[in-house]
Homo-oligomer: A and B are copies of this chain.
């Protein structure tokens, strides 16, 4: 249990969290690094900066570029991609459900299913029915998880994850934090982050 690990901080409304979530487990496994799946919310962090929506919405040229860059990134990765509408989606319920699931493989499988639905199939991930269907698809009975997702304990755990993200200096998603506290931002830094975690353990 003393092997290297990495904290993977992700937000279900975040575009580049999608390709990162789909590959982080494979990249880390090849390097002998364990992944801790840390769903969090960017909304409270953006709000601290006075931002009320995604920077991709307030800067049209940057937004247009991002969608094209994502198309290229997803095509190269062989992943389906459809622009979510609305963007960003409300990710609160999905983040609470992910937090309610144990980080023993179920949370990772659910998270990948949410990303594929949100960014690959245009699904509405704020909808409990949609999340229930995704859970059933990976063999999880949704009712008790949805109940747990509404509990004070899960709400507090998710708030603690947002505070942990802030404490690590996180300002965007995905972000990765190594055991020695090194922060890496973005799908573009995933491989470097995992290599750092493997070296510094």
Q: Which residues of A contact B (CB under 8 A)?
A: 49, 58-59, 61-62, 64-65, 68-69, 72, 169-172, 183-185, 188-189, 192
Contact = CB atoms under 8 A, between A and B. Distances in A.
A117 to B, nearest CB: 28
Contacts of A59: 49, 171
A184 B62 CA distance: 11
19 contacts: A49-B58, A49-B59, A59-B171, A61-B169, A61-B170, A61-B171, A62-B171, A62-B172, A64-B169, A65-B169, A65-B171, A65-B183, A65-B185, A68-B183, A69-B184, A69-B185, A69-B189, A72-B192, A188-B188
Nearest to A64: B169
Contacts of A62: 171-172
Interface of chain A, main secondary structure: helix
A177 to B, nearest CB: 12
Contacts of A58: 49
Contacts of A189: 69
Contacts of A183: 65, 68
A91 B49 CA distance: 28
Nearest to A172: B62
A200 B154 CA distance: 51
A11 B63 CA distance: 21
The 10 A-B pairs of least Cβ separation, nearest first, read A61-B171, A62-B171, A188-B188, A61-B169, A49-B59, A65-B185, A64-B169, A65-B183, A65-B169, A59-B171
A40 to B, nearest CB: 14
A192 B192 CA distance: 18
A47 to B, nearest CB: 13
A73 to B, nearest CB: 9
A56 B194 CA distance: 25
A58 B50 CA distance: 11
A189 B185 CA distance: 15
